[in-house]
């Protein structure tokens, strides 16, 4: 059992979101769906309907465990937290970016995007981290400056900037 899990609050789309993430990240799986009976008063408070409702969904992506909650409309995701996906090259960047943004999400800056549920993701190629983490400050600064101009990260453009082109 994983000691620390990321806990995600949704209005009422926890199961839908978990299934969506499992479809985006092919090695994922939904491990448990927990349902409870909700009376009329509780349903009203949570913005749902009385009867049996999904309350939590446990799922796994790349071996990392998550729990999604149908908690109602009181809280929304913000950019204060994001999930970083480390990618190996442009093909993987394109795959995840296009799925998350193309299915109703939105682009942001520097490799950040939001999915259709409002959860922030960082689609980050390892090549970017290597370039901006270089001990050669001049090259690292050029790569960082190039990244700051991007929405989706372009690995070839980062490498070109890093190389001085």
Residue entry with tokens 């926890």: 14
Q: 26-30, 43-47, 90-94, 152-156 — which is least confidently predicted? A: 43-47
> Helices 90-102 and 155-163: crossing angle, nearest 10°?
130
1-75 folds as 2,3-Dihydroxybiphenyl 1,2-Dioxygenase; domain 1 (3.10.180)
CATH annotation of 77-165 = 3.10.180.10
Please say if the pLDDT value at position 48 is more than 70.
no
Residue 155 has pLDDT above 80, yes or no: yes
Q: What residue segments make up the domains of the chain, in order of their start?
A: 1-75, 77-165
Q: How far apart are CA 19 and CA 28, in angstroms?
A: 9
Tell me, rounded to whole angstroms, the distance of Cα 68 from its chain centroid.
13
Q: Give residue-wise pLDDT tens across range 120-132.
A: 999 999 999 999 9
Residue 43 reports pLDDT greater than 90: no
Tell me the whole-structure pTM to 2 decimals. Answer: 0.90
* Mean per-residue pLDDT, 145-164: 98
98 pLDDT higher than 90: yes
With a cut of 80, say whether residue 115 has pLDDT above it.
yes
Given pLDDT bands bounded at 50, 70 and 90, which one contains residue 59?
A: very high
pLDDT at res. 3:
94
């Amino acid at each position: 059992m994983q000691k620390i899990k990321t806990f995600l609050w949704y209005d009422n789309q926890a199961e839908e979101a978990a299934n969506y993430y499992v479809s985006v990240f092919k090695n994922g799986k939904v491990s448990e769906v927990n349902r409870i009976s909700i009376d009329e008063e509780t349903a009203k408070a949570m913005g749902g309907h009385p009867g049996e409702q999904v309350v939590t969904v446990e799922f796994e992506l790349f071996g990392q465990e998550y729990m999604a909650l149908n908690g109602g409309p009181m809280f929304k995701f913000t950019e204060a937290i994001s999930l970083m996906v480390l990618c190996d090259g442009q093909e993987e960047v394109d795959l995840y970016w296009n799925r998350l943004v193309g299915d109703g999400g939105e682009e942001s800056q520097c490799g950040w995007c939001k999915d259709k549920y409002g959860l922030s993701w960082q689609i980050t190629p390892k090549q970017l981290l290597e370039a901006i983490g270089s001990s050669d400050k001049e090259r690292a600064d050029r790569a960082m400056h190039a990244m700051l101009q991007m929405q989706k990260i372009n690995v070839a453009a980062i490498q070109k900037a890093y190389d001085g082109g």
